[in-house]
Structure 1
Amino acid sequence: MAGSSHGHTPAAWTGVTISFIGFCVAGAFMVMAQPVGFWAGVAVVFLGGVVGWVMSAMGLGQPKDAHEVFQAKVAKIESAGAKS
């Protein structure tokens, strides 16, 4: 995954960070037996997904054809190595 730049975008980092904060909030309130706080944390997790999706739609995510571009680069490197 690391070779394909999977998740290395502002949209991914922002969405995951917001979702992680929501997960921590929900976990803390679950331990404290406070259902309202737990559901607020779950809402923040959902909000992280929405924010990531909106940012991706705005062009801050990985392009749709990024996988094809990566595969073309790998094929080019492999063919150059085979010629040696």
Structure 2
Amino acid sequence: MSNPIADPGHGHSPAAWTAVIIMLAAFAFGTLFYWLDLAHLVWASVGLLLIGPIVGWIMAKAGYGVNGPKYTPKAH
């Protein structure tokens, strides 16, 4: 192949990983709190779930996104 298609780098940045980890933790805690019948903590987990993408967006704007100056691409 003389002209391979480049990987756009979706999800391979500190901003993306941080957002996903926050949302995964929120979902796991929300499930646990639902099972334990702790409604106020379930709603707190929903709030944390909404904070995940916001943190990812802020980190991307701070330069930790795929095309940011603080991001170092890794070889696959």
Quick check: which has more Rg, 1 or 2?
Answer: 1
Identity score, percent: 35
Structure 1 or 2: larger helix share?
A: 1
Q: TM-score, normalised by structure 2?
A: 0.74
Q: Which amino acid aligns with 1:14?
A: T
The count of corresponding residues between Structure 1 and Structure 2 is 62
Q: Post-superposition shift, 1:63?
A: 2.3
1:33 to 7, 32, 37: 37
Question: Is 1:43 matched up with 2:44?
Answer: no
1:5 and 2:32 aligned: no
Question: After the TM superposition, which segments of 4 or more aligned residues of structure 1 sit over 2 Å from their partners?
Answer: none
TM-score normalized by structure 1? 0.67
Moved more, 7-16 or 42-51: 42-51
Kindly report which structure 2 residues correspond to 1:3-82, keeping only aligned pairs within 5 A, or say none: 3-63=7-67
